[in-house]
Amino acid sequence: MSGNTNKTGIIIACAACGEKFNDLTPLATCSKCGGLLDITPALPALCSEKLQNLFDSRVSIGAMRGSAASRSGVWRFRELVLPITDAEIVSHPEGNTPLLERPAVSKYAGVKNLLMKHEGFNPSGSFKDRGMTVAVTQAKRCGATAIACASTGNTSSSLAAYGAQAGIPALVMVPAGRISMGKLAQTVAYGARTLLVRGDFDDCLRLVRESSEKLGVYLANSLNPFRIEGQKTIMFELLQQLAWQSPDWVALPAGNLGNTSAFGKALREAQSLGLIKRIPRLLSVQASGAAPFAHDFADNFAKRTSVRAETIATAIRIGDPASWDRAVSAIRFTNGVVASVSDEQIMQAKQVIDASGVGCEPASAASVAGVRELVARGIIAPHERVVAVLTGHILKDPEKLLNTTNAHGHAAANAPIEIDATLAAVERVLQTATKARN
Ligand code: F0G
Protein backbone atom coordinates (compact mmCIF):
# COMPACT_ATOMS: atom_id res chain seq x y z
CA MET A 1 0.00 0.00 0.00
CA SER A 2 1.30 3.49 -0.85
CA GLY A 3 0.24 7.12 -0.35
CA ASN A 4 -2.01 8.90 2.10
CA THR A 5 -4.39 7.65 4.77
CA ASN A 6 -7.77 6.20 4.05
CA LYS A 7 -10.62 8.47 5.25
CA THR A 8 -13.49 6.32 4.06
CA GLY A 9 -12.60 3.05 5.77
CA ILE A 10 -13.03 1.10 2.54
CA ILE A 11 -10.44 -1.51 1.62
CA ILE A 12 -9.27 -1.77 -1.99
CA ALA A 13 -7.46 -4.99 -2.77
CA CYS A 14 -6.53 -7.01 -5.84
CA ALA A 15 -8.83 -10.00 -6.17
CA ALA A 16 -6.00 -12.02 -7.75
CA CYS A 17 -2.86 -11.30 -5.68
CA GLY A 18 -4.23 -9.52 -2.60
CA GLU A 19 -2.14 -6.31 -3.05
CA LYS A 20 -3.79 -3.44 -1.17
CA PHE A 21 -4.29 0.15 -2.38
CA ASN A 22 -5.32 3.30 -0.53
CA ASP A 23 -8.74 4.79 -1.24
CA LEU A 24 -7.35 7.57 -3.43
CA THR A 25 -5.57 5.32 -5.89
CA PRO A 26 -5.96 6.48 -9.50
CA LEU A 27 -5.53 2.86 -10.64
CA ALA A 28 -8.49 0.82 -11.89
CA THR A 29 -6.60 -2.49 -11.95
CA CYS A 30 -3.74 -3.98 -9.93
CA SER A 31 -0.36 -2.42 -10.71
CA LYS A 32 1.40 -5.63 -9.65
CA CYS A 33 -0.47 -8.33 -11.57
CA GLY A 34 -3.15 -6.54 -13.67
CA GLY A 35 -5.96 -8.26 -11.70
CA LEU A 36 -9.35 -6.70 -10.90
CA LEU A 37 -9.60 -4.59 -7.76
CA ASP A 38 -12.34 -5.26 -5.23
CA ILE A 39 -13.72 -2.84 -2.68
CA THR A 40 -14.76 -3.94 0.78
CA PRO A 41 -16.85 -1.19 2.35
CA ALA A 42 -16.65 -0.56 6.08
CA LEU A 43 -20.20 -1.78 6.67
CA PRO A 44 -22.06 0.31 9.25
CA ALA A 45 -22.50 -1.14 12.73
CA LEU A 46 -26.26 -0.53 12.69
CA CYS A 47 -28.95 -3.17 13.11
CA SER A 48 -30.88 -3.92 9.92
CA GLU A 49 -34.00 -2.07 11.12
CA LYS A 50 -32.06 1.15 11.86
CA LEU A 51 -30.32 0.91 8.51
CA GLN A 52 -33.61 0.41 6.64
CA ASN A 53 -35.07 3.39 8.51
CA LEU A 54 -32.04 5.52 7.61
CA PHE A 55 -32.41 4.67 3.88
CA ASP A 56 -36.18 5.24 4.04
CA SER A 57 -35.74 8.65 5.72
CA ARG A 58 -33.75 9.76 2.67
CA VAL A 59 -36.76 9.33 0.38
CA SER A 60 -38.75 11.90 2.38
CA ILE A 61 -39.88 15.32 1.17
CA GLY A 62 -37.20 16.93 3.37
CA ALA A 63 -34.50 14.97 1.55
CA MET A 64 -36.04 15.85 -1.82
CA ARG A 65 -35.42 19.54 -1.03
CA GLY A 66 -31.76 18.97 -0.23
CA SER A 67 -28.60 18.77 -2.31
CA ALA A 68 -28.34 16.66 -5.49
CA ALA A 69 -26.47 13.99 -3.53
CA SER A 70 -29.20 13.86 -0.90
CA ARG A 71 -31.77 13.30 -3.66
CA SER A 72 -29.76 10.60 -5.42
CA GLY A 73 -30.86 6.96 -5.49
CA VAL A 74 -27.18 6.04 -5.40
CA TRP A 75 -25.92 8.24 -2.57
CA ARG A 76 -28.97 7.38 -0.45
CA PHE A 77 -27.02 4.18 0.21
CA ARG A 78 -23.68 5.93 0.64
CA GLU A 79 -22.72 3.96 3.77
CA LEU A 80 -22.64 0.88 1.51
CA VAL A 81 -21.11 2.68 -1.50
CA LEU A 82 -18.59 5.33 -0.48
CA PRO A 83 -19.09 7.15 2.83
CA ILE A 84 -18.18 10.74 1.89
CA THR A 85 -19.78 14.17 2.28
CA ASP A 86 -22.10 15.95 -0.18
CA ALA A 87 -19.38 18.49 -1.01
CA GLU A 88 -17.19 15.79 -2.54
CA ILE A 89 -19.95 14.18 -4.63
CA VAL A 90 -20.62 14.70 -8.37
CA SER A 91 -24.31 13.84 -8.67
CA HIS A 92 -26.95 14.74 -11.27
CA PRO A 93 -28.86 13.26 -9.22
CA GLU A 94 -29.47 9.75 -10.53
CA GLY A 95 -31.35 6.57 -9.58
CA ASN A 96 -34.88 6.65 -8.10
CA THR A 97 -36.05 4.58 -11.06
CA PRO A 98 -39.53 3.02 -11.10
CA LEU A 99 -40.62 -0.60 -10.69
CA LEU A 100 -43.26 -1.07 -13.36
CA GLU A 101 -45.93 -3.72 -13.72
CA ARG A 102 -47.66 -4.38 -17.05
CA PRO A 103 -49.97 -7.42 -17.35
CA ALA A 104 -49.15 -7.86 -21.06
CA VAL A 105 -45.44 -8.20 -20.30
CA SER A 106 -46.03 -10.63 -17.38
CA LYS A 107 -48.26 -12.71 -19.64
CA TYR A 108 -45.64 -12.74 -22.38
CA ALA A 109 -42.90 -13.76 -19.96
CA GLY A 110 -45.15 -16.51 -18.58
CA VAL A 111 -45.16 -15.47 -14.93
CA LYS A 112 -47.96 -14.04 -12.81
CA ASN A 113 -45.85 -11.42 -11.18
CA LEU A 114 -43.21 -9.67 -13.27
CA LEU A 115 -41.90 -6.25 -12.33
CA MET A 116 -39.63 -4.17 -14.54
CA LYS A 117 -36.99 -2.00 -12.85
CA HIS A 118 -36.51 0.67 -15.51
CA GLU A 119 -32.99 2.06 -15.42
CA GLY A 120 -33.62 3.95 -18.65
CA PHE A 121 -35.14 6.63 -16.39
CA ASN A 122 -31.64 7.71 -15.33
CA PRO A 123 -30.46 11.18 -16.47
CA SER A 124 -28.42 10.08 -19.49
CA GLY A 125 -30.81 7.24 -20.32
CA SER A 126 -29.22 4.13 -18.80
CA PHE A 127 -28.06 2.46 -15.58
CA LYS A 128 -24.53 3.63 -16.34
CA ASP A 129 -25.20 6.85 -14.42
CA ARG A 130 -25.31 4.88 -11.18
CA GLY A 131 -21.74 3.70 -11.55
CA MET A 132 -20.54 6.87 -13.21
CA THR A 133 -21.56 9.23 -10.39
CA VAL A 134 -19.26 7.21 -8.11
CA ALA A 135 -16.40 6.73 -10.59
CA VAL A 136 -16.31 10.43 -11.55
CA THR A 137 -16.62 11.48 -7.90
CA GLN A 138 -13.64 9.25 -7.21
CA ALA A 139 -11.73 10.64 -10.23
CA LYS A 140 -12.23 14.11 -8.74
CA ARG A 141 -11.19 12.95 -5.27
CA CYS A 142 -7.92 11.54 -6.59
CA GLY A 143 -7.17 14.59 -8.75
CA ALA A 144 -7.52 12.92 -12.19
CA THR A 145 -6.79 15.25 -15.11
CA ALA A 146 -8.68 13.17 -17.70
CA ILE A 147 -11.16 10.27 -17.65
CA ALA A 148 -11.65 7.69 -20.37
CA CYS A 149 -13.88 4.80 -21.36
CA ALA A 150 -14.63 2.36 -24.15
CA SER A 151 -18.29 2.17 -25.05
CA THR A 152 -21.07 1.09 -27.37
CA GLY A 153 -22.96 4.28 -26.48
CA ASN A 154 -24.40 4.33 -22.97
CA THR A 155 -21.17 4.43 -20.98
CA SER A 156 -19.78 7.15 -23.22
CA SER A 157 -22.75 9.48 -22.89
CA SER A 158 -22.87 8.92 -19.15
CA LEU A 159 -19.15 9.60 -18.72
CA ALA A 160 -19.43 12.67 -20.93
CA ALA A 161 -22.27 14.07 -18.78
CA TYR A 162 -20.55 13.50 -15.44
CA GLY A 163 -17.17 14.62 -16.79
CA ALA A 164 -18.79 17.88 -17.92
CA GLN A 165 -20.34 18.38 -14.49
CA ALA A 166 -17.06 17.68 -12.68
CA GLY A 167 -15.02 19.81 -15.10
CA ILE A 168 -12.73 16.87 -15.98
CA PRO A 169 -12.03 16.30 -19.71
CA ALA A 170 -13.56 13.03 -20.96
CA LEU A 171 -12.09 10.82 -23.68
CA VAL A 172 -14.30 8.12 -25.17
CA MET A 173 -13.52 5.33 -27.62
CA VAL A 174 -16.37 3.80 -29.59
CA PRO A 175 -16.47 1.30 -32.48
CA ALA A 176 -16.50 3.35 -35.71
CA GLY A 177 -19.78 3.03 -37.59
CA ARG A 178 -21.26 0.73 -34.95
CA ILE A 179 -22.67 3.14 -32.39
CA SER A 180 -26.20 4.45 -32.12
CA MET A 181 -26.42 7.93 -33.67
CA GLY A 182 -28.38 9.37 -30.73
CA LYS A 183 -25.81 8.18 -28.22
CA LEU A 184 -22.93 9.52 -30.30
CA ALA A 185 -24.67 12.89 -30.59
CA GLN A 186 -25.33 12.93 -26.83
CA THR A 187 -21.67 12.15 -26.07
CA VAL A 188 -20.41 14.89 -28.39
CA ALA A 189 -22.98 17.38 -27.10
CA TYR A 190 -21.80 16.92 -23.50
CA GLY A 191 -18.33 17.83 -24.72
CA ALA A 192 -16.35 14.57 -24.66
CA ARG A 193 -13.41 14.08 -27.02
CA THR A 194 -14.72 11.16 -29.09
CA LEU A 195 -12.54 8.66 -30.94
CA LEU A 196 -14.15 6.43 -33.58
CA VAL A 197 -11.99 3.33 -33.36
CA ARG A 198 -11.72 1.01 -36.36
CA GLY A 199 -12.54 -2.12 -34.38
CA ASP A 200 -15.19 -3.54 -32.03
CA PHE A 201 -15.96 -2.87 -28.35
CA ASP A 202 -13.34 -5.36 -27.20
CA ASP A 203 -10.69 -3.47 -29.23
CA CYS A 204 -11.85 -0.17 -27.68
CA LEU A 205 -11.59 -1.61 -24.18
CA ARG A 206 -8.07 -2.93 -24.82
CA LEU A 207 -7.06 0.49 -26.11
CA VAL A 208 -8.55 2.37 -23.19
CA ARG A 209 -6.83 0.03 -20.72
CA GLU A 210 -3.50 0.66 -22.44
CA SER A 211 -4.16 4.41 -22.38
CA SER A 212 -4.91 4.23 -18.69
CA GLU A 213 -1.74 2.25 -17.92
CA LYS A 214 0.65 4.14 -20.21
CA LEU A 215 -0.87 7.64 -20.46
CA GLY A 216 -2.29 7.94 -16.94
CA VAL A 217 -5.93 8.74 -17.78
CA TYR A 218 -8.49 7.61 -15.18
CA LEU A 219 -10.37 4.55 -16.45
CA ALA A 220 -14.15 4.69 -16.08
CA ASN A 221 -15.27 1.33 -17.48
CA SER A 222 -16.79 -1.20 -15.10
CA LEU A 223 -13.35 -2.74 -14.51
CA ASN A 224 -13.10 0.22 -12.17
CA PRO A 225 -14.38 -1.07 -8.80
CA PHE A 226 -16.10 2.25 -7.98
CA ARG A 227 -18.44 1.70 -10.95
CA ILE A 228 -19.47 -1.60 -9.38
CA GLU A 229 -20.08 0.08 -6.02
CA GLY A 230 -22.51 2.53 -7.67
CA GLN A 231 -24.28 -0.14 -9.68
CA LYS A 232 -24.97 -2.14 -6.51
CA THR A 233 -27.64 0.46 -5.76
CA ILE A 234 -29.90 -0.87 -8.54
CA MET A 235 -30.30 -3.90 -6.30
CA PHE A 236 -30.49 -1.97 -3.01
CA GLU A 237 -33.12 0.35 -4.45
CA LEU A 238 -35.28 -2.42 -5.88
CA LEU A 239 -35.12 -4.31 -2.57
CA GLN A 240 -36.09 -1.12 -0.74
CA GLN A 241 -39.02 -0.65 -3.15
CA LEU A 242 -40.13 -4.20 -2.29
CA ALA A 243 -39.91 -3.41 1.45
CA TRP A 244 -36.78 -5.62 1.63
CA GLN A 245 -38.76 -8.72 0.67
CA SER A 246 -36.58 -10.47 -1.90
CA PRO A 247 -38.15 -11.56 -5.17
CA ASP A 248 -37.40 -15.11 -6.34
CA TRP A 249 -35.41 -13.98 -9.38
CA VAL A 250 -33.71 -10.87 -10.72
CA ALA A 251 -33.11 -11.02 -14.49
CA LEU A 252 -30.69 -8.73 -16.31
CA PRO A 253 -28.91 -8.42 -19.66
CA ALA A 254 -25.23 -9.36 -19.52
CA GLY A 255 -22.39 -8.03 -21.64
CA ASN A 256 -19.20 -6.94 -19.90
CA LEU A 257 -20.66 -8.43 -16.68
CA GLY A 258 -20.35 -5.31 -14.51
CA ASN A 259 -23.97 -5.48 -13.44
CA THR A 260 -23.98 -9.21 -12.81
CA SER A 261 -20.97 -8.64 -10.52
CA ALA A 262 -22.53 -5.62 -8.83
CA PHE A 263 -25.80 -7.44 -8.16
CA GLY A 264 -24.00 -10.40 -6.57
CA LYS A 265 -21.94 -8.07 -4.38
CA ALA A 266 -25.00 -6.08 -3.32
CA LEU A 267 -26.84 -9.25 -2.33
CA ARG A 268 -23.88 -10.54 -0.35
CA GLU A 269 -23.69 -7.27 1.59
CA ALA A 270 -27.47 -6.96 2.03
CA GLN A 271 -27.53 -10.44 3.51
CA SER A 272 -24.59 -9.89 5.83
CA LEU A 273 -26.22 -6.68 7.13
CA GLY A 274 -29.51 -8.52 7.70
CA LEU A 275 -31.35 -6.26 5.23
CA ILE A 276 -32.73 -9.36 3.47
CA LYS A 277 -33.35 -12.88 4.66
CA ARG A 278 -33.38 -14.67 1.32
CA ILE A 279 -31.08 -14.37 -1.69
CA PRO A 280 -32.90 -14.01 -5.03
CA ARG A 281 -31.45 -16.03 -7.89
CA LEU A 282 -29.75 -14.00 -10.64
CA LEU A 283 -30.60 -14.69 -14.25
CA SER A 284 -27.94 -13.15 -16.52
CA VAL A 285 -29.04 -13.12 -20.13
CA GLN A 286 -26.74 -12.84 -23.13
CA ALA A 287 -27.50 -12.56 -26.84
CA SER A 288 -26.73 -15.89 -28.53
CA GLY A 289 -24.23 -14.19 -30.88
CA ALA A 290 -22.33 -12.77 -27.91
CA ALA A 291 -22.67 -15.45 -25.26
CA PRO A 292 -19.25 -16.51 -23.94
CA PHE A 293 -20.47 -16.35 -20.33
CA ALA A 294 -23.54 -18.50 -21.06
CA HIS A 295 -21.22 -20.99 -22.76
CA ASP A 296 -18.89 -21.04 -19.73
CA PHE A 297 -21.85 -21.46 -17.36
CA ALA A 298 -22.96 -24.55 -19.29
CA ASP A 299 -19.44 -25.86 -18.74
CA ASN A 300 -19.65 -25.13 -14.99
CA PHE A 301 -17.13 -22.28 -15.47
CA ALA A 302 -14.32 -24.77 -16.04
CA LYS A 303 -12.63 -22.23 -18.29
CA ARG A 304 -13.05 -18.74 -19.69
CA THR A 305 -13.87 -18.38 -23.37
CA SER A 306 -14.19 -15.41 -25.70
CA VAL A 307 -15.98 -14.98 -29.02
CA ARG A 308 -16.19 -12.46 -31.85
CA ALA A 309 -19.51 -10.89 -30.83
CA GLU A 310 -22.42 -10.24 -33.18
CA THR A 311 -25.93 -9.24 -32.13
CA ILE A 312 -28.56 -6.62 -32.89
CA ALA A 313 -28.37 -5.59 -29.20
CA THR A 314 -25.38 -3.23 -29.41
CA ALA A 315 -25.00 -2.78 -25.64
CA ILE A 316 -24.26 -6.46 -25.09
CA ARG A 317 -22.22 -6.99 -28.26
CA ILE A 318 -19.19 -7.99 -26.18
CA GLY A 319 -17.09 -11.09 -26.77
CA ASP A 320 -14.56 -11.00 -23.92
CA PRO A 321 -16.29 -9.77 -20.76
CA ALA A 322 -13.96 -7.91 -18.42
CA SER A 323 -15.65 -8.70 -15.09
CA TRP A 324 -15.74 -12.48 -15.70
CA ASP A 325 -14.25 -13.53 -12.32
CA ARG A 326 -16.50 -11.29 -10.29
CA ALA A 327 -19.55 -12.44 -12.24
CA VAL A 328 -18.76 -16.13 -11.74
CA SER A 329 -18.71 -15.50 -8.01
CA ALA A 330 -22.08 -13.65 -8.26
CA ILE A 331 -23.72 -16.50 -10.17
CA ARG A 332 -22.36 -19.11 -7.76
CA PHE A 333 -23.36 -17.11 -4.66
CA THR A 334 -26.95 -16.62 -5.86
CA ASN A 335 -27.41 -20.09 -7.33
CA GLY A 336 -27.92 -18.13 -10.52
CA VAL A 337 -28.38 -19.10 -14.13
CA VAL A 338 -26.80 -17.72 -17.30
CA ALA A 339 -28.89 -18.09 -20.45
CA SER A 340 -28.70 -16.93 -24.03
CA VAL A 341 -31.52 -15.77 -26.31
CA SER A 342 -31.58 -15.12 -30.05
CA ASP A 343 -31.89 -11.67 -31.62
CA GLU A 344 -35.39 -12.66 -32.70
CA GLN A 345 -36.39 -13.46 -29.11
CA ILE A 346 -34.89 -10.13 -27.99
CA MET A 347 -36.79 -8.11 -30.61
CA GLN A 348 -40.03 -9.97 -29.91
CA ALA A 349 -39.74 -9.22 -26.18
CA LYS A 350 -38.90 -5.60 -27.01
CA GLN A 351 -42.04 -5.32 -29.13
CA VAL A 352 -44.16 -6.47 -26.17
CA ILE A 353 -42.40 -4.14 -23.70
CA ASP A 354 -42.70 -1.22 -26.14
CA ALA A 355 -46.36 -1.91 -26.92
CA SER A 356 -47.14 -1.92 -23.18
CA GLY A 357 -46.13 1.75 -23.12
CA VAL A 358 -42.94 1.07 -21.16
CA GLY A 359 -40.32 0.68 -23.90
CA CYS A 360 -36.60 -0.06 -23.72
CA GLU A 361 -33.53 -0.50 -25.89
CA PRO A 362 -32.93 -3.91 -27.54
CA ALA A 363 -30.29 -5.13 -25.05
CA SER A 364 -32.62 -4.44 -22.13
CA ALA A 365 -35.34 -6.63 -23.59
CA ALA A 366 -32.98 -9.61 -23.25
CA SER A 367 -33.94 -9.76 -19.56
CA VAL A 368 -37.63 -10.36 -20.32
CA ALA A 369 -36.78 -12.70 -23.23
CA GLY A 370 -34.60 -14.66 -20.80
CA VAL A 371 -37.40 -14.99 -18.25
CA ARG A 372 -39.71 -16.34 -20.97
CA GLU A 373 -37.00 -18.80 -22.01
CA LEU A 374 -36.49 -20.07 -18.46
CA VAL A 375 -40.22 -20.45 -17.90
CA ALA A 376 -40.38 -22.51 -21.11
CA ARG A 377 -37.48 -24.62 -19.84
CA GLY A 378 -39.29 -25.17 -16.50
CA ILE A 379 -36.57 -23.43 -14.47
CA ILE A 380 -38.68 -20.42 -13.45
CA ALA A 381 -42.12 -21.41 -12.15
CA PRO A 382 -45.09 -19.25 -13.21
CA HIS A 383 -45.94 -18.36 -9.58
CA GLU A 384 -42.44 -17.03 -8.80
CA ARG A 385 -41.84 -13.30 -8.31
CA VAL A 386 -39.47 -11.93 -10.90
CA VAL A 387 -37.88 -8.52 -11.36
CA ALA A 388 -36.50 -7.90 -14.85
CA VAL A 389 -34.06 -5.00 -15.07
CA LEU A 390 -34.48 -2.81 -18.15
CA THR A 391 -31.09 -1.21 -18.45
CA GLY A 392 -31.61 1.45 -21.13
CA HIS A 393 -34.03 3.84 -22.80
CA ILE A 394 -36.29 3.13 -25.77
CA LEU A 395 -34.62 5.93 -27.77
CA LYS A 396 -31.37 3.94 -28.10
CA ASP A 397 -30.98 2.05 -31.40
CA PRO A 398 -34.32 3.27 -32.88
CA GLU A 399 -33.23 2.29 -36.39
CA LYS A 400 -33.38 -1.37 -35.26
CA LEU A 401 -37.06 -0.99 -34.51
CA LEU A 402 -37.99 0.87 -37.67
CA ASN A 403 -36.13 -1.69 -39.78
CA THR A 404 -37.60 -4.69 -37.97
CA THR A 405 -40.20 -6.86 -39.66
CA ASN A 406 -42.47 -9.30 -37.85
CA ALA A 407 -42.18 -13.09 -37.94
CA HIS A 408 -43.93 -13.17 -41.33
CA GLY A 409 -41.52 -10.73 -42.90
CA HIS A 410 -43.96 -7.76 -42.87
CA ALA A 411 -43.20 -4.34 -41.46
CA ALA A 412 -44.91 -3.49 -38.14
CA ALA A 413 -48.64 -2.73 -38.50
CA ASN A 414 -48.06 0.86 -37.45
CA ALA A 415 -44.99 1.52 -39.59
CA PRO A 416 -44.90 5.24 -40.46
CA ILE A 417 -46.69 6.24 -43.68
CA GLU A 418 -45.68 9.26 -45.77
CA ILE A 419 -48.66 11.31 -47.02
CA ASP A 420 -49.47 14.50 -48.94
CA ALA A 421 -50.34 17.43 -46.69
CA THR A 422 -54.10 17.05 -47.23
CA LEU A 423 -57.02 16.07 -45.00
CA ALA A 424 -58.11 13.55 -47.66
CA ALA A 425 -54.85 11.68 -47.25
CA VAL A 426 -55.37 11.51 -43.46
CA GLU A 427 -58.92 10.26 -44.01
CA ARG A 428 -57.72 7.50 -46.35
CA VAL A 429 -55.27 6.26 -43.71
CA LEU A 430 -57.96 6.27 -41.02
CA GLN A 431 -60.32 4.31 -43.28
CA THR A 432 -57.65 1.70 -44.04
CA ALA A 433 -56.94 1.36 -40.32
CA THR A 434 -60.66 0.88 -39.53
CA LYS A 435 -60.98 -1.75 -42.28
CA ALA A 436 -57.91 -3.58 -40.97
CA ARG A 437 -59.43 -3.68 -37.46
CA ASN A 438 -62.81 -5.08 -38.67
N1 F0G B 1 -27.61 -2.95 -20.96
C2 F0G B 1 -27.24 -1.75 -21.45
C3 F0G B 1 -28.30 -0.79 -21.82
C4 F0G B 1 -25.88 -1.44 -21.59
O5 F0G B 1 -25.53 -0.25 -22.09
C6 F0G B 1 -24.90 -2.38 -21.26
C7 F0G B 1 -23.49 -2.11 -21.46
C8 F0G B 1 -25.35 -3.62 -20.75
C9 F0G B 1 -26.69 -3.86 -20.60
C10 F0G B 1 -24.38 -4.67 -20.33
O11 F0G B 1 -24.07 -4.51 -18.99
O12 F0G B 1 -21.63 -4.77 -19.18
O13 F0G B 1 -22.74 -4.66 -16.98
O14 F0G B 1 -22.99 -6.67 -18.42
N15 F0G B 1 -23.10 -1.16 -22.20
C16 F0G B 1 -21.69 -0.80 -22.41
C17 F0G B 1 -21.61 0.60 -22.98
C18 F0G B 1 -20.95 -1.76 -23.23
O19 F0G B 1 -20.61 0.93 -23.56
O20 F0G B 1 -22.53 1.38 -22.82
P21 F0G B 1 -22.78 -5.20 -18.35
**What pLDDT digit, counting tens, does each position of 35-70 carry?**
999 999 988 889 999 999 999 999 877 777 889 999
- Please report the atom of ligand 1 found closest to the CA of residue 253: 9
pLDDT of residue 406: 53
The Å distance, Cα 256 to ligand 1 centre, comes to 7
- Residue in 331, 248, 237 with CA at minimum distance from that of residue 286: 331
Tally of domains within the chain: 2
Does any domain span residue 16? no
- Please report the atom of ligand 1 found closest to the CA of residue 119: 3
Please state, in angstroms and as integers, the Cα–Cα distance from residue 310 to each residue in 320, 364, 435, following that order.
12, 16, 41
pLDDT of residue 408: 47
The Å distance, Cα 50 to ligand 1 centre, comes to 34
Assess whether 288 and 156 both reside in one domain: no
228 C-beta neighbours (distance < 10 Å), count:
28
Assess whether 351 and 317 both reside in one domain: yes
Q: Quickly list H helices, 312-422.
A: 324-333, 343-355, 362-376, 398-402
Closest protein CA for atom 7 of ligand 1: 315
Assess whether 254 and 139 both reside in one domain: no
- The residue range of the domain holding 174 is 127-223
Query: If DSSP codes are grouped into helix, strand and coil, which group holds residue 358?
Result: coil
Q: What are phi and psi of 8, to 5 degrees?
A: -90, -15
Domain boundary among 166, 199, 223: 223
Q: Are 129 and 402 in contact (CB under 8 A)?
A: no
The Å distance, Cα 408 to ligand 1 centre, comes to 30
Does any domain span residue 86? no
Closest protein CA for atom 1 of ligand 1: 391
Closest protein CA for atom 4 of ligand 1: 315
Does any domain span residue 64? no
Does any domain span residue 316? yes
The angle formed by the CA atoms of residues 321, 209 and 325, to the nearest 5 degrees, is: 30
Does any domain span residue 25? no
The Å distance, Cα 182 to ligand 1 centre, comes to 16
The Å distance, Cα 323 to ligand 1 centre, comes to 12
Domain boundary among 223, 252, 276: 223
Assess whether 131 and 120 both reside in one domain: no
Assess whether 150 and 110 both reside in one domain: no
User: Distance between CA 433 and CA 155 in Å, rounded?
Assistant: 41
Element (H, E) at 219: strand 218-219
Assess whether 116 and 242 both reside in one domain: yes
Does any domain span residue 6? no
- Please report the atom of ligand 1 found closest to the CA of residue 257: 14
Does any domain span residue 187? yes
- Please report the atom of ligand 1 found closest to the CA of residue 396: 3
Assess whether 133 and 121 both reside in one domain: no
Assess whether 243 and 349 both reside in one domain: yes
Assess whether 184 and 276 both reside in one domain: no
Which residues on neighbouring strands pair with residue 285, listed in sequence order?
253, 339
User: Distance between CA 212 and CA 112 in Å, rounded?
Assistant: 47
Q: Compute mean pLDDT per 10 residues along the chain, 438 residues long, and list them.
A: 66 96 93 94 91 91 83 96 96 97 98 97 98 98 97 97 98 94 96 97 96 94 97 98 98 98 98 97 98 98 97 95 97 98 97 97 98 98 98 88 58 83 96 81
Ordered strands of the 11-14 beta sheet: 20-21, 11-14, 37-40
The Å distance, Cα 72 to ligand 1 centre, comes to 21
Assess whether 290 and 375 both reside in one domain: yes
The Å distance, Cα 366 to ligand 1 centre, comes to 12
Q: Are 283 and 337 in contact (CB under 8 A)?
A: yes
Choice from 124, 259, 286 to test ligand 1 binding pocket (greatest atom count within 8 A of CB): 259
357 C-beta neighbours (distance < 10 Å), count:
9
Whole-structure pTM over 0.85, yes or no? yes
Assess whether 192 and 244 both reside in one domain: no
Domain boundary among 223, 249, 266: 223
pLDDT of residue 398: 79
- Please report the atom of ligand 1 found closest to the CA of residue 262: 13
pLDDT of residue 4: 43
19 C-beta neighbours (distance < 10 Å), count:
15
Q: Are 194 and 184 in contact (CB under 8 A)?
A: yes
The angle formed by the CA atoms of residues 195, 201 and 203, to the nearest 5 degrees, is: 80
Express each pLDDT in 350-406 by its tens digit: 999 999 999 999 999 999 999 999 999 999 999 999 999 999 999 998 777 776 655
Per-residue DSSP letters for 130-168?
HHHHHHHHHHHHTT-S-EEEE-SSHHHHHHHHHHHHHT-
The Å distance, Cα 66 to ligand 1 centre, comes to 31
Does any domain span residue 432? no
Assess whether 173 and 232 both reside in one domain: no
Residues with CB under 6 A from ligand 1: 126, 128, 151-155, 201, 222, 253-260, 315-316, 361, 363-364, 391-392
pLDDT of residue 407: 47
Q: What is the CATH number of the domain that holds 360?
A: 3.40.50.1100
The Å distance, Cα 33 to ligand 1 centre, comes to 26
